[in-house]
Amino acid sequence: MALARHRAFPEAKTKGFCLLDVKPAVFTSEESHYSVAKGSVWMGMGLDAVVKVRTDQWGRMTGEALEEAVTNAKAEGDTRSKEKWKKCLIVLLSQ
């Protein structure tokens, strides 16, 4: 998670998220280990950054469920630009 955060937001290491114009998100499966949420806290993103995504009968996140979770997060008032959302998804895909 630290490597993914650094890849998406390299300046977060020196400035922290408070001084950046970003609101990171960690999209993870509803079956994910508690360490994902814990890692989000340790990485300075907070628990609110963790978005649990529905899984199929085998505990796998599907593309449709991920797309729905991103759409719902945007509809709940998140105003991240498209480019910032692409960066946020790097956090998910790099876990």
The larger pLDDT score, comparing residue 93 to residue 1, is at 1
Q: Please classify residue 82 by burial: count the beta carbons closer than 10 Å to its beta carbon, then call 0-12 exposed, 13-18 middle and 19+ buried.
A: exposed
- pTM to 2 decimals? 0.71
**Angstrom distance (rounded) from CA 74 to CA 22:** 14
**Angstrom distance (rounded) from CA 37 to CA 51:** 9
Amino acid letter, 66:
L
The larger pLDDT score, comparing residue 92 to residue 68, is at 68
Whole-number percent of the chain with pLDDT over 70: 78
- Name the band, by pLDDT with cuts 50, 70 and 90, for residue 89: low
What are the residue ranges spanned by the domains of the chain? Answer: 2-16+35-93
pLDDT digits (tens, 9 = 90+) for 49-70: 888 999 888 888 888 998 898 8
Cα-Cα-Cα-Cα dihedral sign, residues 23, 27, 31, 36 = negative
